[in-house]
Structure 1
Amino acid sequence: MSSSFSSRSKAIADQPASAGAVAGLDVAAQAVVSAHDVLKALPEAVYMTDQAGRIIFFNEAAAALWGQRPEIGKTEFCGSWKIFWPSGQPIALAECPMAIALREGRPNRDHDIVVERPDGSRVSALTFPTPLFDIHGHMIGAVNMLVDVSHRSIAFEEAQRFAAIVESSDDAIVAKDLNGTIVSWNRGAEKLFGYTAPEIIGKPIETLIPLDRHDEEPNILARIRAGEQIDHYETLRRRKDGSLVEISLSVSPIRNRQGIVVGASKIARDITERRRAEEQQHMLIREMDHRVKNLFTLANSVVTLSARSATTAAELVSDVSSRLQALAQAHALTIAGASASATRIEQETTLHTLIRTIIAPYDGRVENQLTRANLSGPDVTISGGVVTSFALLLHEFAANAAKYGSLSTLDGRVDINGTHDGQMFVLTWSESGGPPVTRNRDGDGFGTLLGRATVRSQLGGEISREWRPEGLVIRLTVLLARLAGQH
């Protein structure tokens, strides 16, 4: 028991009194002892000082928090080994919250401090120093409670770290309540959907859902209320500008401390590029299948064409060999090269060079000049990024002409003309002198699908076919900027 408590108890015991007064003093003494026992039993750190700041009482919780036991009547203001502000700045004892409360004679509460123990461990604490006054209003000391908030600090730091991760995520992370109202919105969501947080928070999640998919939300909310998690649900959502975006959606329940579901968090990832890559991969697989199936047909066409004009076996061998070599060169234009470090090197060529290379296997040439193909118009540059796509298109034109059209006969011809039309480049492929024309020979085959996908998505243009009596006419319109590799 502190000296203050002892002296007061002794003073009470030394005073003469009647039996009734003695009984009253016994009650008072019991009250003093009871208050002392209460302070000792509190689970939070509590200590008291006299008016000069010397510690006159502390409980076991305070000793445990400090990691040491201060000396009664000598240790001043605080029993800590060292104390710091949360910023890490040391606090002098004369400037600690308890010292200021005694100096200014008023409570100095709710200060965060960091207590360092003699073993070097640290505890975050919240302080509540309060001066004590006698019945005459004279300050006789102060009491302080130190509340260990280390767990709160750790939780706060974790929350801050988690918030930073959410905010910096490239994925759209959105939270909504069980009514479907948006309550949080990160930068990833702003980038994906176009709305800023002030614009969208408080609005229904249906703002992002196309009209024909509004039935999805009630089903999602029902599953979330049941505590279910939804993973990788692929769907469409609407941006602020009205455009649609393909997303992969993961939805998880948000629970309160009692474990009750109170909302949902959504992570939306743009899968547009992935879908495009999948479509491109599928198209390339079909291309491989298409080429394998046509390999012998193309070789047979080359042999047949060569045989019609060859007069000797040696001449036939020579013609077939040169044409197969030209076909290999044309194929090489559709394959991007690689450096020593295995990085892709884009190839660049001109339109006329590309056309000559593609047509050569199906046509006799004299000193690199086409004899059955008339090439006219500007010789524009084709950048490495679109060489493959353009070569594949021209290859399909030539292959079909060799199999079905004007290049399948000795008298057939192809006129290829390029013109500028504003920002567009127009290539017209006109066949004549071939067999009777059967409309829509290509149908929905690989060549047609390749043309649509390549011309529209990569070259920013259109392709059309006209089956005239004299032969097929293909009109290919592409953006000049795309040919130059600009997007």
Structure 2
Amino acid sequence: MLDLFGPSDEARIGEIARQAANSSAAGADSERRFRDLLQALPAAIYTTDAEGRITFFNQACIDFAGRTPKIGEMWCVTWKLYLPDGTPLPHDKCPMAIALKQNRPVRDAEAVAERPDGSRICFVPYPTPLRDEDGRLVGAVNMLVDITARKQAEERMMLLTAEVDHRSNNLLAVIQAMLRLTKADSAEAFQATFQGRLSALANVQRLFSASRWTGASLKTIVEEELRPYASGDRERVGIEGDDISLPATLAQSIAVAIHELATNAAKYGSLSTPSGRLNIRWEADPATSLVLRWSESGGPEVTEPTRKGFGVGAVDGVIRTLRGRITRQWRPEGLVCELSFPGVAA
């Protein structure tokens, strides 16, 4: 663990130990200088006698432990101790106690200190025995290095890695389904159709990346899918609804559904003519379900199709996957489609 704090830390601790061992022989002035040196250091450092009774602690120990230790207390300046797995660690079995009882430095140990206010700190101790000129054990010095931020970063990285792995598998499954179900009369038509669906999924992944995988904005998903049809005419496409952060599976499904609805509208519905209009709005009810309504008007007269194409099948498929519901009304003035999902929490 010493490499985290620089290659000279072992030597630094040894030098402190040697100074402490010689301080009594050098007299009160040397001891005072030694204690001033320890007080000036930002790391929590304390010393004990050969029995483990605390003989000195610096201000950094108070800040670290969240309490003011007492001279004469045994083994450690902290209030409560735990092993990294949460098991309580008695003070008489802490690394400092082991260093004194076995008369050896203790390295590569980690522990968790609990303060009186309940907050906890992960730390690495560096207990080192102190010996006099004859090699007799006279006490020990310990330095406590706070590694809480590093441990939290490691936990976040592990969670992120697991989440990315899960979402990658989910995304590949979606792509495989799209590839299997995409139909076209030519290679060029297949490429164009499949590329559009991939772009919808890519937009969602970009949104998740920008938010550090905390969620994807429903409003941004809708706006980006409909942007090609709304440019130059703000009245052609209307979007209403408070922004909602969506989890990965729901965001991907809605992106595919919006893409397919927009593609169908551009080929056969309201977005296929300059006079056509589209309104999309959504709301979340108190039970956290999401209802999204797609309304077309002003385009060619619409009749219910006699054959279900992949676009319709794709929308139906993603809705069923999320235990959602879909209703369609093939009105002469345009399609009205309502999608409802049981949950929206990211």
TM-score normalised by L of structure 1 = 0.40
Contact 1:255 1:263 in 2 (8 A): yes
Of 245, 248, 261, 2:124 maps to: 248
Counterpart of 2:205 in structure 1: which amino acid?
Answer: H
- Structure 1 Cα separation of the partners of residues 290 and 129 of structure 2: 60
Contact 1:350 1:379 in 2 (8 A): no
Unaligned runs of 5+ in 2: 1-24, 232-237, 262-279, 293-314, 324-338
SS for the counterpart of 2:342 is strand
Q: Cα offset for 1:375?
A: 7.6
- Structure 2 Cα separation of the partners of residues 305 and 395 of structure 1: 22
- Structure 2 Cα separation of the partners of residues 244 and 351 of structure 1: 35
- Structure 2 Cα separation of the partners of residues 255 and 325 of structure 1: 70
SS for the counterpart of 2:247 is helix
1:170 is the counterpart of 2:55? no
Q: 1:324 to 1:218 in 2, by over 3 A?
A: closer
1:395 is the counterpart of 2:248? yes
1:209 is the counterpart of 2:91? no
1:224 is the counterpart of 2:100? yes
Q: Cα offset for 1:326?
A: 3.4
Residue in 2 that maps onto 1:317:
191
Contact 1:184 1:201 in 2 (8 A): yes
Of 265, 275, 299, 2:141 maps to: 265
SS for the counterpart of 2:61 is helix
Residue in 1 that maps onto 2:7:
none
Of 455, 473, 487, 2:342 maps to: 473
SS for the counterpart of 1:174 is strand
- Structure 2 Cα separation of the partners of residues 281 and 323 of structure 1: 30
1:329 is the counterpart of 2:195? no
| Structure ranking higher in strand proportion | 1
Counterpart of 2:128 in structure 1: which amino acid?
Answer: S
- Runs of 4 or more, structure 1, over 6 Å off, are 400-403, 430-433
Identity of aligned residues (%): 23
Of 172, 177, 187, 2:59 maps to: 187
Residue in 2 that maps onto 1:236:
112
Residue in 2 that maps onto 1:119:
none
Return the structure number with greater relative CO, CA threshold 8 A, min gap 6: 2
Q: 1:365 to 1:256 in 2, by over 3 A?
A: same
Unaligned runs of 5+ in 1: 1-150, 338-345, 381-389, 439-469, 478-487
- CA-to-aligned-CA distance 1:131-184 (integer Å, 9 cap, x gap): xxxxxxxxxxxxxxxxxxxx969x967973x54553233321122334443322
Contact 1:251 1:266 in 2 (8 A): yes
- Structure 1 Cα separation of the partners of residues 77 and 49 of structure 2: 13
Q: Cα offset for 1:318?
A: 2.5
Q: Cα offset for 1:208?
A: 2.0
Counterpart of 1:320 in structure 2: which amino acid?
Answer: F
Residue in 2 that maps onto 1:142:
none
Contact 2:167 2:248 in 1 (8 A): no
Of 140, 147, 152, 1:276 maps to: 152
Q: 1:330 to 1:183 in 2, by over 3 A?
A: same
SS for the counterpart of 1:278 is helix
- Structure 2 Cα separation of the partners of residues 152 and 229 of structure 1: 24
Q: 1:331 to 1:260 in 2, by over 3 A?
A: same
The alignment's C-alpha RMSD in Å is 4.9
Residue in 2 that maps onto 1:435:
320
Q: Cα offset for 1:288?
A: 4.6
Kindly name which structure, 1 or 2, has the bigger radius of gyration based on alpha carbons.
1
Counterpart of 2:90 in structure 1: which amino acid?
Answer: D
Contact 2:81 2:91 in 1 (8 A): no
- Structure 1 Cα separation of the partners of residues 38 and 283 of structure 2: 56
Contact 2:54 2:71 in 1 (8 A): yes
